[in-house]
Amino acid sequence: MKHFKIQEHYLLLNKWWETLDLTNYEKSFLNREIISFNQQLLRLKEKKLRIGAYGKSGVGKSSVLNSLLKKDIFKTDIINGSTKEIQSETWTLKDQTLNSLELLDSPGFDFCNIKFPDKVYSCINHSDLILFIVSGDLNRNELNEISSFIKDGKKIILILNKIDLFNKNELKEVIENIKFKLPKDLNIPIIINNENNLKNYIAKLINKYGEILLTLNSIQLADKLFLKIKEQRLKRRQKLAQSTIGKFSTLKASAVALNPFIFFDVAGSFAIDTALINELSTIYGLKLKGESTRKIFKNISINNLCLGITQVGVNTSLNLIKKLILLTAPFTNGLSLLPYGPIAIIQAAIAIYSTKILGKLAAKEIYVRSKASFIDPAILIQNMNFNDPEIFNYINIYFSNRNLNNNFISFLP
């Protein structure tokens, strides 16, 4: 663990950020996330770990932090809710690989008089390590907050404060109840705030995992920013792709309906479909050469073989009928031309439907291929080796929720 290359990961993340080409709209829309990431990137460069204290009002968050600092920095009071905004203080520990530690105190999450509760949660959630402080058995609200942090892949230490309120048997029962309610696969540590045991535990944890926790949190913030950029771009491209597919559907319908020759129908349709694929690849930022377009068209054709055979078969039959109508027109004084219009409309409808199906399949295929050209920060996490379940289990949960909540296929046309 001590040979963890924190500088190497900083350079990779910094390079990723510098290669991002954001529009002015994206910079404005994601301003808050961009600022948070850049602040974290600076902390990674400076090897500055953030530890956030969180819990409901009156559990003694400020007093716990003061006990770590060995001085009264954070305001405490007998009245619950003495902390009304995020406060920070540098904490010095000896024999650490990190350059500095920052402690964050926060208002109780159940405190009514908070101007921006989401901002408080977000600030603590962006911390590299969270001290979740309780003063007794866990209630439903506390469990919900812990669950939210876990889903975000946060490393949590649960601190049991105010133990003087319980006798020995009661304290043992409270700890057993808390263990029963916490996820069994994470082994969240429950530390009693008693003399120096809390400080010693945190010091040992940071010495072993501090650089990894700082790096992981930095990559996760980059990944969350990346996913939001991706979502915004796909939403905008979805509208443009739908418009483009509609335009090519109309063009193909007109060509097929008006043309009585089978060969030109097939050749024209193929040319239009190829042009559609090229247009969609431009929309989704994937530069395709002729061979790449043909490969995608081939994949789509295989996946959509039944539709293709049906379309060609129906159009061939209808074209033969149209040709027969045209040939017999002089002998019927034009009466045989009456079915020509309905047949052309049927062909046009088939062309529109098949083009829309092709467009959707092409958009999905192009999107899958274009993902390889994205620089995904999550790959940095996947390339890191975690043999220790202390870290590995948290990362697994983060990726499980990430993949579950970010199905971008729904943003395709």
Count of CB atoms situated within 10 Å of the CB of 393: 17
Q: Which range is most confident: 106-110, 361-365, 375-379, 392-396?
A: 106-110
SS3 content of the chain, % helix, strand, coil (to 5): 65, 10, 25
pLDDT at 389 over 60: yes
List Cα–Cα distances, 124 to 34, 37, 399, 406, in angstroms: 17, 14, 20, 23
* 274-281 LR contacts (CB < 8 Å, sep 24+): 275/248, 276/244, 276/245, 276/248, 276/355, 276/358, 276/359, 276/362, 277/362, 277/366, 279/244, 279/248, 280/241, 280/244, 280/245, 280/359, 280/362, 280/363, 280/366, 281/366, 281/370
Range of weakest confidence among 12-16, 29-33, 331-335: 331-335
Counting residues of the chain whose pLDDT is more than 90, the rounded percentage is 25
Lowest model confidence (mean pLDDT) among 52-61, 228-237, 262-271, 393-402 = 262-271
pLDDT digits (tens, 9 = 90+) for 88-105: 999 988 877 899 999 999
| Separation of CA 336 from chain center | 60
| Bridge partners (DSSP) listed for residue 160 | 134, 192
Inter-residue contact 143 to 179 (CB < 8 Å): no
Residues 6 or more apart whose CB falls under 8 angstroms from that of 20 comprise: 229
Residue-level pLDDT at 264: 43
pLDDT in tens, 177-189: 999 999 887 889 9
